[in-house]
Amino acid sequence: MVEQLKDEFKQQFGAGASHVFFAPGRVNLIGEYTDFNGGHVFPCALDLGTYALVRARTDNVVRMYSSQFARVGQVTWALDALVFDAAKDWSNYPAGVLAVLQQAGCGLAHGFDVLFWGNLPNGAGLSSSASIEVCTAVLAQHVYGLDLSMVQLVQIAQRAENQFIGVNCGIMDQFASGFGRAGHAILLDTNTLKFEHAPVDLWDEFTLLIANTNKRRELAESNYNLRRAECDAALAALQTVTAIGALCDLSVAEFERHAHVIVDENARRRARHAVSENQRTLQAVAALNQRDLLTFGQLMNASHVSLRDDFEVTGLHLDALVNAAWQAGAVGARMTGAGFGGCAVMLVRSAQAAAFQAQVEQAYLSETGLNADFYAVRIGEGARLLEAVL
């Protein structure tokens, strides 16, 4: 596959690429909408993601091409004019990373040609945007000889999404793409950025499936920023009666004791989800470490219910898919990602996986008129240089 991309690079830019980079997408096993509330998340990197082939130029021009968006063609950016441009479509994501690097004082002395290709479904909630952002940050590190840590690179990628794209996301997606480890998920405290890699060993008895609703979500056009504003409003109200820096500083009992100060009912429910989800995430990792997959699955189910009822980010298609999974005997199933369409993650017994998938496919099709796509999760490594061609 990489060899085909090398040929395509030569066709697009007239010369061969010098380096090949990769950054994965992610699936979050549990811990949704806690990352911007100072809580814990538990994502893992996938072996699917974004590839980037690059060659340096001598001028200040960056030419970008994605074979997934061939209709857009080559997109050209000048390094002294990196300003969001809707007409430049997908290329705003890597351009945003370059803009944030400049703002951080990194000298981008010359341009480059870059070809992107990814095998993550766009808009499915598996962090295709974070994948291309982190891939760009890592390739810039090499192209410009920067001396930035992986933490700094993922923070730059996050700021690109926040400031350039305009999606007020937390750091989980970029962090998982940068710090992934094969066979492990990442328990990340988003308040401190302390993390540990936790083995995900299903002992062949269980399988993790990702199911795509094929209901595309447009995150920047969704209610994501509204949900964050509601959480911020709840935090501000709580801070009038308790000294906390983030919603997830509270235990569930502490939250219930003070919840009455949040006058707006929607804000109160958003906060209830964040606090309870943070507790569920810690309980789920503890269960996994004890090889208690049944409890882990029950916590996945509870997570979805909270996302459905308190945070209201699931919608018809995700609920239909998860309900079908529950009916078909999933050990656990929940939406993953930002919601409003996208994907669900399911824990199923391996011996029943084929029959399970067939039943869920049929039930989901009957409910929505759409076909769901399924694939087993393989947990991969984080962003990295794959190959120096020259």
Are residues 222 and 335 both part of a single domain? Answer: yes
Of the residues 173, 249, 310, 319, only one is catalytic, namely: 173
Are residues 68 and 205 both part of a single domain? Answer: no
CATH at residue 158 = 3.30.230.10
Sheet strands side by side (includes 373-376): 332-336, 343-349, 206-212, 373-376
Are residues 193 and 206 both part of a single domain? Answer: no
In contact, 136 and 98? CB cutoff 8 Å:
yes
| Inter-CA distances, 357 with 96, 278, 346, 373, Å | 39, 30, 10, 10
Are residues 52 and 137 both part of a single domain? Answer: yes
Residues 6+ apart with CB under 8 A from 286: none
Residue located via tokens 């919603």:
247
Are residues 285 and 330 both part of a single domain? Answer: yes
* Whether residue 173 lies in the annotated active site: yes
Are residues 80 and 146 both part of a single domain? Answer: yes
In contact, 300 and 30? CB cutoff 8 Å:
yes
Are residues 154 and 279 both part of a single domain? Answer: no
Distance CA 144, CA 382 (A): 20
Are residues 38 and 181 both part of a single domain? Answer: yes
What is the per-residue pLDDT across 14-25, written as a single tens digit (0 to 9) for each? 999 999 999 999
Are residues 151 and 120 both part of a single domain? Answer: yes
Using the 8-state DSSP alphabet, how is residue 379 labeled? Answer: B
In contact, 126 and 211? CB cutoff 8 Å:
no
**Nearest partner of 307 among 347, 280, 284, judged by Cα:** 280
Are residues 286 and 361 both part of a single domain? Answer: yes
Are residues 67 and 154 both part of a single domain? Answer: yes
| Cβ burial, residue 350 (10 Å; 0-12/13-18/19+) | middle
CATH at residue 290 = 3.30.70.890
Predicted pLDDT at 389: 72
Are residues 113 and 140 both part of a single domain? Answer: yes
Predicted pLDDT at 348: 97
Predicted pLDDT at 89: 95
**Nearest partner of 35 among 368, 256, 278, judged by Cα:** 278
Using the 8-state DSSP alphabet, how is residue 70 labeled? Answer: T
In contact, 343 and 27? CB cutoff 8 Å:
yes
Distance CA 274, CA 285 (A): 17
Domain interval for residue 130: 2-197+380-388
Residues written for the chain: 390
Indicate the number of domains in the chain. 2
Predicted pLDDT at 185: 96
Predicted pLDDT at 169: 84
Low-confidence ranges of the chain (pLDDT < 50): 220
Predicted pLDDT at 220: 41
